[in-house]
């Protein structure tokens, strides 16, 4: 295969490559993870100077030849620039980029994950929404996209409905467990369980409503436990 493709892409990572070039890792909606060379972008007057910066997203034209992609054009649509002025929000955003890289594969469309990444970064950069809440929402939706969301409507061990039994939370067993299956698991309030059940399917903007829910910090903590146990990533 040789030729050009156009993709919607977010820069996850960059690395210096030769004197004036960079190698970038992109999350693209159309083809999942893509590695590409950006030639000359470390020269001061390069048109592609922004195209290789982490957090930059836009329409990328890539040329494929000799077994590799090269960026030929880029129309930047956002760079989430306010993140650079807040070290906590920048650190959180950088963790998301790393998780996106670790969970993405090449040659597989990733429309849902790409949309999630842009929505989460928009909230992180352009609102004052609590970072822990945004991270919980990002992770809950990401786990669902990956097909490994915590079970929240029934006991992950015996299958008993959550409506019939008091539920606890055991990340290693897959989510909620009834008290007879795991009496030593962590407690889980009704409200936090409902958040784990509903939020993964809700639009990202429902974080605004979730912010007023008294049980979101508990749900966020359980999500963190779950991600640590189930995904081999640093959160
Ligand atoms: Zn059970």
| CA 171 / ligand 1 centre spacing (Å) | 14
**Residue ranges of domains in the chain:** 1-128, 147-235
Among all chains, which residue has been given the structure tokens 């989430």? 80
Average pLDDT taken over every residue of the chain: 94
Q: Looking at domain 1-128, which of 2.40.37.10, 2.40.50.140, 3.90.220.20, 1.10.10.10 is its CATH number?
A: 2.40.50.140
What single DSSP character describes residue 83?
G
Distance 165 CA to ligand 1 centre (A): 8
Dihedral sign for Cα 200, 204, 207, 208, please.
negative
Q: How far is the CA of 139 from the centre of ligand 1 (A)?
A: 25
Residues of the chain with pLDDT under 70: 1, 234-235
Give the pLDDT of residue 160: 94
Q: What is the pLDDT of residue 235?
A: 65
Question: Residue 234: its pLDDT value, please?
Answer: 67
Task: Quote the ligand 1 centre to 156 CA distance (angstroms).
Answer: 7
CB atoms within 10 A of CB 32: 19
pTM value is 0.94
- Ligand 1 centroid to Cα of residue 213, in Å, is 27
Task: Give 181 Cα–ligand 1 centroid separation in angstroms.
Answer: 4
Please tell me the predicted confidence (pLDDT) of residue 46. Answer: 86
**What pLDDT score was predicted for residue 165?**
82
User: 28 in helix, strand or coil?
Assistant: strand
**121 near 86, Cβ under 8 Å?**
no
68 Cα–ligand 1 center, Å = 51
Find the 191 Cα to ligand 1 centroid distance in Å.
19
Expressed in angstroms and rounded, the spacing between residue 94 Cα and the centre of ligand 1 is 38
Dist. CA 219 → ligand 1 center (Å): 20
- Coil, helix or strand at residue 218: helix
- Asked if 95 and 234 touch (Cβ cutoff 8 Å), the reply is yes
The answer to whether 120 and 96 have CB atoms below 8 angstroms apart is yes
pLDDT, tens digit, 9 for 90 and up, residues 187-216: 999 999 999 999 999 999 999 999 999 999
Identify any residues that bridge with 11 across adjacent strands, giving them in sequence order. Answer: 26
């Amino acid at each position: 295969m040789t030729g050009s493709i156009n993709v919607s892409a977010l820069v996850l990572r960059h690395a210096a490559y030769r004197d004036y070039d960079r190698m970038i890792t992109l999350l693209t909606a159309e083809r999942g993870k893509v590695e590409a060379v950006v030639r000359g972008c470390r020269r001061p007057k390069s048109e592609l100077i922004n195209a290789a910066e982490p957090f930059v997203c836009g329409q990328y034209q890539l040329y494929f030849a000799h077994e590799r992609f090269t960026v030929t054009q880029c129309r930047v649509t956002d760079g989430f620039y306010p993140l650079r002025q807040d070290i906590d929000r920048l650190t959180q955003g950088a963790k998301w980029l790393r998780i996106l890289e670790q969970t993405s594969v090449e040659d597989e469309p990733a429309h849902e994950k790409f949309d999630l990444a842009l929505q989460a970064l928009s909230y992180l950069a352009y609102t004052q929404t609590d970072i822990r809440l945004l991270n919980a929402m990002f992770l809950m939706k990401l786990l669902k996209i990956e097909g490994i969301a915590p079970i929240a409507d029934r006991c992950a061990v015996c299958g008993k409905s959550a409506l019939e039994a008091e539920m606890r939370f055991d990340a290693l067993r897959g989510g909620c467990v009834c008290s007879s299956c795991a009496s030593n698991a962590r407690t889980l309030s009704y409200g936090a369980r409902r958040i784990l059940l509903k939020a993964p399917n809700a639009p990202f903007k429902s974080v605004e409503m979730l912010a007023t829910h008294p049980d979101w910090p508990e749900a966020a903590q359980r999500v963190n436990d779950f991600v640590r146990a189930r995904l081999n990533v640093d959160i």
